[in-house]
Structure 1
Amino acid sequence: MTKSFFLILLFICGLFSAQQNAYYQQHAKYKMDIDVDAANYTYQGKQSIEYTNNSPDELNVVYFNLFWNAFKPGSMMDQRVQNRGKTGDSRLNVDGVSRLASIPKDQEGAQNIHWIKQNGKLLKYEIQETIMKVYLNESIKPNSSTKFTMEWDANVPMQIRRSGRNNREGIDMTMTQWYPKISEYDYDGWATFDYVGREFHAPFADFDVNIKIDKNYVIGAGGTLENPSDVKGYTSSPTIKADKNNKVNWHWTAKDILDFAWAADPDYTVDSFAVLNGPKVYLVYQKSDKTAAWEESIPYIKKYYQLMNAAFGDYVYPTYSFIQGGDGGMEYGRCTMILGEAKSVQSLCGLMFHEGSHSWFQQMLATNEAMRPWMDEGFTSYAEDYIMYQLFPPTTPEANPFINSINAYIRWTKSGLEEPAVWLGDHHDNGTAYTFATYVKGETFLVELGYIMGEENLQKTMKEYYKQWHLKHPTDRDFIHIAQNISGMDLKWFHHYWINTTKTIDYGITNVQYDATSTTITLTNNGQVPMPIDFGVMLKDKSVINYQIPLNLTRVFKTKDINGTFTSLPYWPWTQKEYTFTIPYSKDQLSVLGIDFSQRMADVNPADNFVEVK
C-alpha cells in the first residue's frame, strides 16, 4: 500500500467514523383528538404522529410507552413496591403494603389500543406491560419520515402516582403521561424502560391537541390555548357554545417539548401575569384559604424567572403553567403538577421553583432521566437552592446556599445505605438511597465542582452548557467536556468518584507546630476521594489569608475563588497520605486555621478541619 493511498484511506475512515458518531435527535409531530367522558373518567383518543428518523440507523420497529398500564394490581410497578416494602416510595405504599394492589377494577389504569397504522396500513404490535412494540411494514430509513395513526380508549386510574382521578385535594383529573407516547431512539438505542415509578425520556415533539370535555370544566395545560374565548376560565366573558353532548373543545398547541400534560376540574381558577423578558405564567388552582399562598407567590415567581434566565440561560417557551393537580410535584412540558395547599408562601415557592427549574434541567436540557436522574433532579435542586437563597435569605448567616444539602449528604453517608448515583433511576434498592444519590449527590456534584474549579468557572460552564445543548439531549460526558474546556482542568477523576462510587472526602488537620516566626501544619487524607484544599488562615485582626494546595490530578490549578486570590503551595499528589507546609505567622498572630472556610467541600468528618488558636 502506498503512503498516499494509506493517508486517503485514513481520511475516509475518519470521516465515516465522525458521521457515525455525530449528534442527532429524533422528532415527532402529534395531532390528537380526545373526547372525554368526565362522569366515568374515560376518554376516546385518536392521534397521528409524523415521526422523523434523524439517526444514521434504519428502524424496523418502534416502541411506545403506555404508562397508565402500570396502575393496576399485579403490574410491574405493584411488584416493585411490594418487593421493596417500607424502603420504597411512601406515596406508593402504606406501611409497606402496595396501594396499587387494592385498586378497584373500575379504577385501574388502562390504555386500550384499537389499532395502529403506518402510512395507512395496519401494523402488528405486542404490549409488554407499559411498553408497546410495533413491527413496521416499511422500515424508516435514515433522514426520512413516516406517519403513524392510531385509535385507543383509556380509563383514568385512581390517583396513586402523578396521574389519575380525584387526588387528595379534590382535583378531578390529572392527565400526565396519558397518551401512547413514542419512545426516544438515540445513540443508546430505544429508551424502553418499564414504568415502575420513576423518570421519563422522550424525543422533542410538536403537539396539536383538541380536547372535548364537559363545558363546566376548566383545563390547565403545558401549551398555548388557541381558543380562550370559547372556554371557561381564560377570559372574563367567554362565548361558550356546547355541542349536543354539553361539551366544548379546547385547542392546545406546543412546539419542541417532551410531552403534553393537562389537568381538568370544574372548580379551577386561572390567574395569569407576564414576566419581564420571560414567559406568560398561568396559575391554575382551586382558590381557598388553604391556597392563599398562590397569589402571594406572584412577585417571587417574576423574580425567579429573571434570576434563572441570568444564571442558567433564557427560558425559551412563551408560557408556563403551575397547576394544582399532582401528588406532590412533577414537571412536564411547559407546566408542572403540584399540590395546592401550602403552609407558607416560602414553602410553596420552594416547590414551584424546584419543579419550574426542571424547565431547564429536564425539558430544555433534556438528559435521559431514566439513565442519569442525577443530572435532572440534582441540577434542578442546585438551581432551586441557588434561587431560594436569594429570594428568601436565611435569618442567620449561612456559609453558602447549599450548606443544608451538604450536611444532609454527610449525615446520609453514615447510614451505610448509600448507593451510587450512576445507577438507573428505577433500579435503586432503597427509596431514600435513590433520593440522596439523585437529588443530593447530583446537587453536590455542582457544589464540589465550584469548589474545585472556582465559582466563576462553574457559572461560565452552566451558561455554556445551556448555550450548546438547550433543546437537545446532553449527557454527563458533554457537561464534563465543557467544564474541562472552560477551566482547563482534568475533571474526569472527580466525575468518576462522585457519580460512580460511594467513596467519601475526609481531610483533617492532624498536627500544628508553632515556632517563633512561623507555623507548620500537617494535613491527612483519611478519605477515598482526593481533593484540592483551600486552606484559610484568620489572623487576630480578623483578616484572612487564603492558601491553595492543588491536587495534581487537575493538572491546572485554581488561582482565585469566592474568597479572593490564593497563595499557591506545591501540589498534593493524590497517592500521598499526609501533607506538611509552613506559613510565615507565629502563634500570637493567629486566630483560626481551617480547611475550606467556605464549607463547600463535602468532608464527611468536618470536626477536625479547624483549629482555634488560643
Structure 2
Amino acid sequence: MNYNHLSKWLVVALMFSTNWVSAQVTSNNQNDFNEFTYRQGSAYRAASGKPGPDYWQNAADYKIAVTIDENEHTVAGKIDITYTNNSPEDLAFVWMHLEQNRFKADSRGTLTTPIQGNRYSGDVDGGFSISNVSAKLNKRGSTTSSKHIITDTRMQVFFNEPIPAKGGEATISMNFEFKVPVKGMDRMGRLKVDDGTIYALAQWYPKVAVFDDVEGWNIEPYLGAGEFYLDYGDFDYMVTAPYDHIVVGSGALQNPKEVLNGTLLERLDKAKNSDATVFLVKPEEVNKPELTRPKQEGTLTWHFKIENARDVAFASSKAFIWDAARINLPEGKKAIAQSVYPKESDGQDAWSRSTEYSKASIEHYSNKWYPYPYPSAVNVAADINGMEYPGLNFCSYKSKEGSLWGVTDHEFGHNWFPMIVGTNERRYAWMDEGFNSFINHYSSIAFNEGEYGSSMQQTRKYLNWFNSEDREGIDTYPDVANTSNLGMIAYMKPAIGLLLLREYILGEERFDNAFKAYIEAWAYKHPQPNDFFNIMENVGGENLSWFWKSWFYGTDNIDLAIENVVPYGNDQVIILSNKGGVPMPVKLGLTYADGSKENIVLPVEIWQRGDSWNYQHKSEKQLVEVEIDPAKMLPDINIANDKWPSEIYK
C-alpha cells in the first residue's frame, strides 16, 4: 500500500476511535520494575554484590590414596580430610556426600529415574563400601568418634565434642571401596576399547558438604541432573594402577621420574615449552609399555597435587595415546594442556586436535575474564558426552571437528563457572551452565578466526521453545525440571540473557566491567543469585530488577510491536506496544524516503507507564520503514509485528 494512502487511512480511522495522544498512559507497570527479592546487604554479603566484611566459608583439605583393580573394576583406598570450621557456630557433626551410592538399585536417584531412562540413568550394582570411620578434633586430648549415619548419597559424621567456631579443625578418616560403573550417569564410568579399558573416575571419594550462611548444611541428595556444591581446599592424592597404564589427573604430577621413563620425560619437557602439540605416547606406542614406562610388571603409583580446588578427577588406561602443549597465561605464567585418547579417537578430524582446542580455550578465557589457576588442563576421551572437573574434562571419544571443539571448549569453560566461581550447581544450574554457555559464545567466535563459529547469537532459532506451553523458568531446580526443558533453562536462556545484557542493554564495556568484577569478587567463594544481581547493577550502573524478574524468574516472553506510524504536525509518531511480559529497551531502525537510515534507542522506562508508548520522531525526512531490533538480537516471539509497514499492507 502507498505510504500517503496508508497515512490518510490511519488518520481517518483514529478520528473514529480513541485519541492516541491522550491514551499514551494506559496503566501503571511499576510493579514490573520493583525489587523482586530481598536483596539488602548483610555483614556476610554486601549490597554491592561483594562478600561482606564478615564473609566466611569452611575448608576441606584431602589426602587420598587408592588402587585400581582392573580385573574386578574396583577402586579402593583411604581418605584423610582436614576440615576447618570458619563459621561463627560450633559444629557437632559434619555432613558428607557419598555420590557413588547413586549407583544402587534402591537409591533415590535410581527410584526417581523414569522407566524409559534419561541421560542420568546409570548402573545399579555399585555404591560405596565404607569402613574404619574416625572423627576427632585436631587438639591435644581429643577422643575419636566412629559414629556415623549413611542415608542414600549422604553421610553424617559425629564428633565427641563440637568443632569450635572461627577456625576449629578436625580430621575425618575412613576406608572406602566401590565398583566402577560402566554407565556412570554420563559423568564418569568405564569404556572398553580395543587396547584396554578407559577408567574415567569422578565422584570417587567421600567429600564434605558445604555449610554456608544461607542454608546451613547443603544436604540435597545426588539424584542426577543437579550437579555439585563443594568447598575449596588442597588435594594430595595417589593412584596406584597397573604398570602399563597412563594416569592423568587434576593438578600437577609430583613424581614423573617414578612413573615415566627417560624418553617420556624428555617429551614432556619439550611439550611444556611448545605451542605445537607434542606426542608423549604415540599411536604406535600404545600397549608397548617397554617404550615409555620405567618398569614392566606390577603397579606404579602416580602422585598428584592441586591447591585451592573444589574437587578432583582422574583417568587411567593402557589404551591412551597421550599428547601435550604449553598454555600461555597472563603475566608470563604457563600451564600444560594434555589429551589422552584411544586409537578409535585418533585423527586430525578428531582427537589429534584436542590439545590445540584445549590450549586455545584456556588461553582465551584467561585473557578475557580471569587467569586460569591450575598447572594443567587435561582432556580425556571417554564414553561421556561431556563433564567437567577442576583441570580435567571427560568428553566423548566419538566427537569430531566442531562437536569436539564445542564440548572441549564448554567443559574447560566450566573451570571459570563453577570451579573458580563456586556456585551451587545443585540448586542454580543457570549460574553454572548458563554463564559458561555465554562465555563459550565468544571463545568460539575467537577460535582460529571463527573456524566453527557460534550460533547462539541467532536467538530466534529458539522461538519454538519460547512459545511452548510446557516451558519452565530458569529458576526451576534441575532435579525438578522436565528433562526436555533442561537444555534451555540451564544453558541457553540464561546465556541469551547475558548476551542481551552485554550487547543490547548495557553495552560491552559496562557489562564486561561488571562481569569481571563478579568473577574477581567471588573467585573461590560461594555467590548466591542476589550477589550476582547486585554486583552487576552496582558496577554496571543500571537498575535491572525488571530484567532479573522477567527473564530469570518468570516464563514471560519478549514481544515488542509497532502498531502504526502516523503523521503529527510536521513530525511522525511511532506507536509502540509491549505485548509480552518482558520489558525491553526499544532499538528502532528507521529508513527514509531518500534511502538514508538511522538507528535510535528508547529506554526501558517507557514501559513503566504502561504497555503502549507513542514516540514522536522529529525529522524533516519522510519515514517509509520502521523496524524493531534491526540486528535481530532479541528472541522476539512474534516477528510479524516488528516492522512497519506490516507485510499485510505491502
Question: What TM bracket, shorter-length normalisation?
Answer: 0.7 to 0.9
Kindly indicate whether the alpha-carbon contact (under 8 Å) linking 2:561 and 2:641 is maintained by their aligned counterparts in 1. Answer: yes
The residue type paired with residue 357 of structure 1 is G
CA distance in 1, matches of 2:92, 2:596: 69
How do 1:110-149 residues align onto structure 2 when only pairs under 5 Å count?
110-119=127-136, 121-142=144-165, 143-149=167-173
- Secondary structure of the residue aligned to 1:78 is helix
Kindly indicate whether the alpha-carbon contact (under 8 Å) linking 1:257 and 1:334 is maintained by their aligned counterparts in 2. Answer: no
**Quick one: which of 57, 65, 88 aligns to 1:25?**
57
How do 1:347-358 residues align onto structure 2 when only pairs under 5 Å count?
347-358=403-414
TM-score by length of 1: 0.85
- Secondary structure of the residue aligned to 1:203 is coil
User: Structure 2 vs 1, CA of residues 412 and 254 (structure 1 numbering), >3 Å: closer, same or farther?
Assistant: same
Is 1:372 matched up with 2:411?
A: no
Structure 1 partner of 2:579? 526
The residue type paired with residue 360 of structure 1 is W
Structure 2 partner of 1:440? 492
In our comparison, the structure showing a higher alpha carbon Rg is 2
Kindly indicate whether the alpha-carbon contact (under 8 Å) linking 1:68 and 1:157 is maintained by their aligned counterparts in 2. Answer: no
Is 1:196 matched up with 2:223?
A: yes
How do 1:92-171 residues align onto structure 2 when only pairs under 5 Å count?
92=121, 100=123, 103=124, 108-119=125-136, 121-142=144-165, 143-161=167-185, 162-166=187-191, 171=197
**Quick one: which of 281, 294, 301 aligns to 1:240?**
294
Structure 1 partner of 2:37? none
- Secondary structure of the residue aligned to 1:30 is strand
**Quick one: which of 463, 476, 493 aligns to 1:410?**
463
Structure 1 partner of 2:396? 339
Kindly indicate whether the alpha-carbon contact (under 8 Å) linking 2:190 and 2:382 is maintained by their aligned counterparts in 1. Answer: no
Is 1:605 matched up with 2:638?
A: yes
User: How far off its partner does 1:408 sit?
Assistant: 4.3
Structure 2 partner of 1:89? 118
> Unaligned regions of 5+ residues in structure 1, if any?
1-13, 93-98, 553-571
Write the deviation string for residues 226-263 of structure 1: whole angstroms up to 9, x where unpaired. Answer: 112322595356562477xx111110111111111011
User: How far off its partner does 1:125 sit?
Assistant: 0.8
The residue type paired with residue 609 of structure 1 is D
CA distance in 2, matches of 1:528, 1:436: 18
Structure 2 partner of 1:561? none
The residue type paired with residue 335 of structure 1 is L
Write the deviation string for residues 449-497 of structure 1: whole angstroms up to 9, x where unpaired. Answer: 2222222211111111122111211222122222111222111232122
Kindly indicate whether the alpha-carbon contact (under 8 Å) linking 2:209 and 2:219 is maintained by their aligned counterparts in 1. Answer: yes
User: Structure 2 vs 1, CA of residues 114 and 299 (structure 1 numbering), >3 Å: closer, same or farther?
Assistant: closer
The residue type paired with residue 155 of structure 1 is K
Kindly indicate whether the alpha-carbon contact (under 8 Å) linking 2:390 and 2:419 is maintained by their aligned counterparts in 1. Answer: yes
CA distance in 2, matches of 1:201, 1:163: 17
How do 1:65-76 residues align onto structure 2 when only pairs under 5 Å count?
65-76=97-108
CA distance in 2, matches of 1:15, 1:177: 34
Larger RCO: 1 or 2 (CA < 8 Å, sep 6+): 2
- Comparing 536-545 with 265-274, which one deviates more in the overlay? 536-545
Kindly indicate whether the alpha-carbon contact (under 8 Å) linking 2:76 and 2:178 is maintained by their aligned counterparts in 1. Answer: yes
Kindly indicate whether the alpha-carbon contact (under 8 Å) linking 1:448 and 1:602 is maintained by their aligned counterparts in 2. Answer: no
Aligned length: 559
CA distance in 1, matches of 2:631, 2:321: 45
User: How far off its partner does 1:341 sit?
Assistant: 2.0
Structure 2 partner of 1:422? 475
Is 1:296 matched up with 2:353?
A: yes
Kindly indicate whether the alpha-carbon contact (under 8 Å) linking 1:242 and 1:248 is maintained by their aligned counterparts in 2. Answer: no
Write the deviation string for residues 54-111 of structure 1: whole angstroms up to 9, x where unpaired. Answer: 11121111111111111132321122112xx55x63452xxxxxx64xx5xxxx2221
Structure 2 partner of 1:456? 509
Kindly indicate whether the alpha-carbon contact (under 8 Å) linking 2:475 and 2:552 is maintained by their aligned counterparts in 1. Answer: yes
**Quick one: which of 248, 267, 275 aligns to 1:220?**
248
User: Structure 2 vs 1, CA of residues 126 and 395 (structure 1 numbering), >3 Å: closer, same or farther?
Assistant: closer
Structure 1 partner of 2:629? 596
Kindly indicate whether the alpha-carbon contact (under 8 Å) linking 1:514 and 1:586 is maintained by their aligned counterparts in 2. Answer: no
CA distance in 2, matches of 1:21, 1:229: 46
CA distance in 2, matches of 1:393, 1:540: 39
Structure 1 partner of 2:564? 511
- Secondary structure of the residue aligned to 1:178 is coil
Structure 2 partner of 1:251? 303
User: How far off its partner does 1:526 sit?
Assistant: 0.7
Kindly indicate whether the alpha-carbon contact (under 8 Å) linking 1:167 and 1:325 is maintained by their aligned counterparts in 2. Answer: no
The residue type paired with residue 164 of structure 1 is G
- Secondary structure of the residue aligned to 1:353 is helix
User: How far off its partner does 1:167 sit?
Assistant: 6.2
CA distance in 2, matches of 1:291, 1:504: 44
CA distance in 2, matches of 1:250, 1:290: 25
Structure 2 partner of 1:47? 79
CA distance in 2, matches of 1:15, 1:31: 34
CA distance in 1, matches of 2:64, 2:465: 46
**Quick one: which of 606, 610, 613 aligns to 1:579?**
613
User: How far off its partner does 1:586 sit?
Assistant: 6.3
The residue type paired with residue 643 of structure 2 is F
Identity %: 29
TM-score by length of 2: 0.80
- Secondary structure of the residue aligned to 2:343 is coil
Structure 2 partner of 1:325? 382
Structure 1 partner of 2:32? none
User: How far off its partner does 1:326 sit?
Assistant: 4.6
User: Structure 2 vs 1, CA of residues 200 and 326 (structure 1 numbering), >3 Å: closer, same or farther?
Assistant: farther
Write the deviation string for residues 539-593 of structure 1: whole angstroms up to 9, x where unpaired. Answer: 46765422221123xxxxxxxxxxxxxxxxxxx1424121111223467x54642
Is 1:79 matched up with 2:111?
A: yes
Kindly indicate whether the alpha-carbon contact (under 8 Å) linking 2:120 and 2:224 is maintained by their aligned counterparts in 1. Answer: no
- Comparing 155-164 with 378-387, which one deviates more in the overlay? 155-164
Kindly indicate whether the alpha-carbon contact (under 8 Å) linking 1:230 and 1:241 is maintained by their aligned counterparts in 2. Answer: no
Is 1:182 matched up with 2:177?
A: no
The residue type paired with residue 574 of structure 1 is Q
- Comparing 199-208 with 153-162, which one deviates more in the overlay? 153-162
Over the aligned positions, Cα root-mean-square deviation in angstroms equals: 2.8
CA distance in 2, matches of 1:517, 1:43: 81
Structure 2 partner of 1:211? 239
User: Structure 2 vs 1, CA of residues 72 and 125 (structure 1 numbering), >3 Å: closer, same or farther?
Assistant: same
User: How far off its partner does 1:33 sit?
Assistant: 1.4
Structure 1 partner of 2:17? none
